[in-house]
Amino acid sequence: MTTLNDFLYASFEKKCDVVTMSSQFVTGRKLGDCKVYLYHTGNFFIEVYYSVVYKKVLMINAFNDALGLEPYLEAISLADLKL
């Protein structure tokens, strides 16, 4: 699975496989009682919404635009790139 469209129409189990085997963790953030983890596949970003209360994944979202990254801007630093 290499495209965002393929991922969006995949089963929950297949999405979990892509997250664990074919993506790289970028950062995380807190959203209410959930933790949201951001991953990158090389072609698009994946968000995994995890409930700390219920100890399970509630939702998996994927996107490939800059707008989806806005909630993570405070957690991401470009300082290490030495630009």
The residue that leads in pLDDT, 80 or 28, is: 28
- Whether 83 is in a domain gets the answer no
Give the pLDDT band (50/70/90) at residue 74: confident
Report whether pLDDT(82) > 80.
no
Tell me how many domains the chain contains. 1
Whether the pLDDT of residue 18 is over 50: the answer is yes
Q: Is residue 70 part of a domain?
A: no
Q: Measured at the alpha carbon of residue 72, what is the angle toward residues 70 and 26, in degrees to the nearest 5? A: 130
Q: Is residue 60 part of a domain?
A: yes
State how far the Cα of 55 lies from the Cα of 77, in Å rounded to an integer.
29
Domain that holds residue 36: 4-65
Residue 66 pLDDT: 86
Two tokens at 36? 């949201």
The pLDDT mean for the chain works out to 90
Q: Which tens digit of pLDDT belongs to each residue from 19-47?
A: 999 999 999 999 999 999 999 999 999 99
| 79 in a structural domain | no
